[in-house]
Amino acid sequence: MSEGEKKYNNDEITIVWKPKVCIHSTLCWKGEKGLRQVFNPAEKPWIKPHGATSNEIIIRVNNCPSGALSFYYNDEANNSESAGIENIIEVLPNGPLLVFGNLKVIPI
Ligand code: SF4
């Protein structure tokens, strides 16, 4: 477990948040893709794992650009943090790219 790592679980999954890795992109809670009923930095605890379905939460967790959010299934048979991860490249206005997925970055 990394320093300061926190876990929040519902009946199906456990959400893992690594605050030292979070780049405060706001993607998990702000805008049309945010899931404010689960991720709300104005409240404590800021993650409420019962605020949406597990599938909705997994989509947001997999869109975290820093890897600060991850999850695993509570059921050992399905226990894999990378389950359901897709590799996605999202193009933002004026060119920046958001890359999501289980990737390895190799500096040149
Ligand atoms: S999406 Fe990830 S990096 Fe962005 S605020 Fe949420 S936890 Fe932090």
DSSP 8-state symbol, 74: S
- Which amino acid appears at position 5 of this protein? E
Probe residue for ligand 1, chosen from 6, 15, 24 as the CB with the greatest number of ligand atoms within 8 Å? 24
Q: What is the mean pLDDT of residues 25-52?
A: 95
SS3 at position 107: coil
| Domain boundaries defined on the chain | 6-75+85-100
Q: For residue 79, how far is its CA from the centre of ligand 1 (angstroms)?
A: 23
Tokens of 18: 């690594």
Verify whether ligand 1 is closer than 6 Å to residue 68 (CB atom).
yes
Protein residue whose Cα sits closest to atom 2 of ligand 1? 64
Mean pLDDT of the chain: 87
Between residues 90 and 71, which one has the greater pLDDT?
A: 71
Can you give the pTM of this predicted structure? Answer: 0.72
DSSP letter string, 27-58: TTTSSTT--TTTB-TTSSSSB-TTSS-HHHHH
